[in-house]
Structure 1
Amino acid sequence: MVTDRLFKLPLVWDPQPEGGWTITCPILPGLVTEADTVEEVSINVADAIEALIEGYEELGQPIPEVLRPMQSSAPFMADTLIHLEAA
């Protein structure tokens, strides 16, 4: 699994009728995954990123710039979803 790397990507959360979401990335068409809970999104997106990187490497294709990890030692700002359970 990809470790010690941060990626900053816009994600589209498309609610599914049966529950959960389909997650896509408008700047990375190959990134598609699903999640049943908010907590699963990061895990499943990380798995999808790992699979994409491996696919590019296996095909000998250059890794898109958006899949180059950002510097984790520098400050950064990111929109974040925080899930609060209903009382």
Structure 2
Amino acid sequence: MGRTVRLTATVTADDGGMYCARCVQVEVACEGHTVDEALDRLRQALEHYFKRRAIPHPHLHPPIVVPIEVRLPD
């Protein structure tokens, strides 16, 4: 059994009722019909991802996730 690392995920909903979970630290994303399903799939995908790649070192500064406003044309 390996060690556990804490990563940051964002979850967004699309117009079709699906949820997309994305890992902030690495480019891995998964979809699901529910938030829990999307996160479960992301967890599995990350476990597979790190079987083939270096495990990230704990960040001294965790990612900052904030909303941002963008002015769109009328």
> TM-score, with normalisation over the residues of structure 1?
0.52
RMSD, aligned CA: 2.2
* Structure 2 unaligned blocks of 5 or more: 59-74
List structure 1 runs of 4+ shifted beyond 4 angstroms: none
2:29 to 28, 32, 43: 32
1:50 aligns with 2:42: no
* Structure 1 unaligned blocks of 5 or more: 57-61, 67-87
1:34 partner letter: E
1:53 partner SS: helix
Identity of counterpart residues, as a percentage? 21
> TM-score, with normalisation over the residues of structure 2?
0.58
1:64 aligns with 2:56: yes
